[in-house]
A and B are shown apart, each in its own frame.
Chain A
Amino acid sequence: MATQMSSAATVPVPTRPAVKTRRSVNARQVIRYGLLYAFLIALSIIFLFPFYSMVIGSMMPKDELFRLYPVLWPPDGPTLTAYRLLLKIDVTTTIQNLERFHILRYIFNSLLLATVAVLLQVFFNTLAGYVFAKRQFPFKNQLFAFILLTMLMPTAINFVPFYILIGRLGWMNTYLPFWIPGAASAFGIFMMRQFIVSTIPDELIDSATIDGASQIMIVTRIVMPIMAGGMVVLGILGFVSVYNEFVLSSLILKDNDIRTVQVALANFKGTSIRAPMYDLMFAGSVMATIPLLLIFFVFQRKIIQGIMSGAIKG
């Protein structure tokens, strides 16, 4: 199906038709578009509000967050106290658990975990994607069908024994469970294959082969440079999902020093059920989101087009 869609997408479809003299904009349409804009703007405000409440909440004194009537703006102006507390800048605190809460360390852990995971994923998936896109060899179709079939395997079916296996390998409290098992994935191979099939002409590979280039040279010198864009899309989607992963990391990363920022925040949240320290949790959340926001705004166009082309299911 994705093949169909991407081939359909290459057919030039005018996204905005040239202004035609057919019919001038009538009153009914003005009203319709007015309502449409009103609805979309209202919905946009609703969608942005959680971000706003997180950012402004991180700059409010704790008491303001527990008023019977929440306020949009702190009456005494925004303050950075929560950030100073988290970063332990010239403040002494008596808040329990905060002493052992090293937000920058956790963010670094998350970045390290996600970066290595993504580099491995992108390399191995591109390698296999190239072979399935451009090479002919015995049992190719069967092997590829098998990869697609594995996508149907429900996650839950082997989750418990997988967890036990991680323990037996001595991989508890390490990042290996996030790096190794996912280094080559059915989804990634499928996606890279689709990208490569539609991007790289066979003649290019053939002429390189005739010139005596080895397969690994063809992949690293020809395929990867051309596919950089596709690899970036795959990499970013992988990065976001690994950076935000919670289920497995909450079960495996128990040591304080090795926790990812998600696990640490969830744990911090758990320790303060009775009187949530929202100011600190919001400040931590804002800091944890900043790396992904930066990536998002730099690569926005690529991510959105990648998902829209249908090659990707987020």
Chain B
Amino acid sequence: MAAKAPPLPVSRSSVGAHRRPDARSVLREMWKHRTDYLFISPFYILFAVFGIYPLLFGIQLSLSRWQPGRDMTWVGLQNYQTLIFTDPELGRALLNTLAMLLWILPTGLGGALILAVMLNARRLAGRGFFRTIFFLPFVTSQVIVAIVFQQLLDKNYGWVNLLLGKIGLGPVPWLTETIPAQISITLLLHWMGIGTNVLIFLGALQSIDRELYEAAEIDGATSTQQFFNVTFPLIRPVMLFMVITATIGLINLYAPVKLLTNGGPEGTTLTLFMRMIDLMTSVRYGEGAGFGFIMGGIVLLITLLQMKFLSGWWTVEGNLKQ
């Protein structure tokens, strides 16, 4: 409460009656709305303490060598040099993360869109039933899913290999070889998350006017043509939003990988976030903080690239929408 008061006297004396005659009235207006500022203040206070302060501390930390209980020594860009040029893990984790992004992003969003289109079929009965089933994994945690999938994908005792064996495919070492391990992680994430994406797409699809399809049908458009000429242009803004949020989420991939493969085999599924946590738990705080900034830079760079290349997706094409 008291924290809201200080700006008032300070600015009043500094701004004074000099240049802007309305400054005083703005301040009076602000004082009148002090409860409004009070009500929204928790966010800004918490963000300052737990967002901005760590950010600034992180800058200092990434330029220093420090361990708890010792003095902080300034080392300039040495941590970044170590991370980028000496330590092979950053490059490896970056490649793994990007590789998994390439597996997961198109199959996840594409699969969810196809499923949503199927569930949106006009005469489909039991839409709610299927929707619930695909969404049900929402209640499970990454820890529990990892436990269940570890058993399903077990090389010798798992169901997946038993079924593959039935059609004559040899046992696949799902968790102990690079590509199968990446596929396993992809499957796990899809099982957990596709239901949510289906729901978001379904919401977008259901806001499309059915008359558009009827008009397209009269014009003789096949359902594939309808999808590419009516559906897709109309949901592109939603798609772009989901591409960006999914990318950010996937770069922060941690728990499923940690619990399913622990970065193995031989570090080929190690993700960026896992590497950062490793640095942190081995008390290499300076490098850990630097790693965080590098990761943040990568996230922003990828997001900007996506926005640039998909910039046409922001808007709904033409005047299709009512």
A contact set with B: CB distance below 8 Å:
1, 4-5, 8-9, 11, 13-17, 25, 29, 33, 36, 39-40, 43-44, 47-51, 53-54, 57, 65-70, 124, 127-128, 130-132, 135, 137-139, 143, 147, 150, 152-165, 167, 180-181, 183-186, 189, 214-216, 219, 240, 243-244, 246-247, 251, 262, 265-266, 269, 276, 278, 281-282, 285, 288-289, 292-293, 295-296, 300, 303-304, 307-310, 313-314
Q: In the complex, A308→B131 CA distance in Å?
A: 11
Nearest CB of chain B from residue A238's CB, rounded to whole Å: 13
What are 12 sample pairs from A and B whose C-beta atoms fall under 8 A apart?
A5-B203, A11-B322, A57-B151, A65-B151, A128-B40, A135-B36, A155-B252, A215-B39, A285-B147, A289-B141, A296-B139, A309-B203
Quick check: B131 and A304 within 8 Å, CB to CB?
Answer: yes
Q: Which residues B213-272 have CB closer than 8 A to chain A?
A: 237-238, 241-242, 245, 248, 251-252, 254-255, 259, 272
Quick check: B276 and A69 within 8 Å, CB to CB?
Answer: no
Quick check: B203 and A310 within 8 Å, CB to CB?
Answer: yes
Nearest CB of chain A from residue B73's CB, rounded to whole Å: 16
Q: In the complex, A40→B119 CA distance in Å?
A: 9
Q: Which residues B265-320 have CB closer than 8 A to chain A?
A: 272-273, 276-277, 279-281, 285, 288-289, 291-293, 295-296, 299-300, 303
Quick check: A307 and B199 within 8 Å, CB to CB?
Answer: yes
Chain B residues whose C-beta falls within 8 Å of the C-beta of A137 in the assembled complex: 29-30, 33, 36-37
Quick check: B50 and A127 within 8 Å, CB to CB?
Answer: no
B121: nearest chain-A partner, CB-CB: A36
Quick check: A251 and B281 within 8 Å, CB to CB?
Answer: yes
Out of B191, B259, B272, name the residue touching A269 (CB < 8 Å).
Answer: B259
Quick check: A157 and B142 within 8 Å, CB to CB?
Answer: no
Q: In the complex, A156→B144 CA distance in Å?
A: 24
A313: nearest chain-B partner, CB-CB: B245
Q: In the complex, A66→B68 CA distance in Å?
A: 46
Quick check: B30 and A183 within 8 Å, CB to CB?
Answer: no
Out of A130, A156, A181, name the residue touching B276 (CB < 8 Å).
Answer: A156
Task: Give the most central of B37, B142, B199: most A CB within 10 Å.
Answer: B199
Chain A residues whose C-beta falls within 8 Å of the C-beta of B248 in the assembled complex: 154
Out of A1, A40, A66, name the residue touching B130 (CB < 8 Å).
Answer: A40
Out of A39, A154, A285, name the residue touching B144 (CB < 8 Å).
Answer: A285
Chain B residues whose C-beta falls within 8 Å of the C-beta of A131 in the assembled complex: 36, 39-40
Nearest CB of chain A from residue B115's CB, rounded to whole Å: 8
Chain A residues whose C-beta falls within 8 Å of the C-beta of B30 in the assembled complex: 137-139
- Range for the number of chain B residues in contact with chain A: 35 or more
B314: nearest chain-A partner, CB-CB: A1
B139: nearest chain-A partner, CB-CB: A292
Chain A residues whose C-beta falls within 8 Å of the C-beta of B36 in the assembled complex: 131, 135, 137, 215
Assuming the A-B contacts A8-B207, A160-B276, A183-B42, are A276 and B136 also in contact, with contact meaning beta carbons closer than 8 angstroms in the complex? no
Sorted from nearest, which 3 A-B pairs have the closest CB atoms? A157-B296, A308-B203, A244-B141
Out of B39, B144, B152, name the residue touching A130 (CB < 8 Å).
Answer: B39
Nearest CB of chain A from residue B224's CB, rounded to whole Å: 13
Nearest CB of chain B from residue A92's CB, rounded to whole Å: 25
Quick check: B199 and A159 within 8 Å, CB to CB?
Answer: no
Question: Is B107 part of the contact surface with A, judged by Cβ < 8 Å?
Answer: no
Quick check: A246 and B255 within 8 Å, CB to CB?
Answer: yes
Apart from A54-B144, A143-B44, A156-B291, list 17 A-B contacts with CB within 8 A.
Answer: A9-B207, A13-B209, A14-B210, A36-B118, A49-B152, A70-B162, A153-B51, A156-B295, A158-B292, A161-B289, A183-B42, A262-B142, A269-B146, A292-B140, A303-B138, A304-B199, A307-B199
Chain B residues whose C-beta falls within 8 Å of the C-beta of A181 in the assembled complex: 46, 49-50
Q: Which residues B150-173 have CB closer than 8 A to chain A?
A: 150-152, 156-159, 162
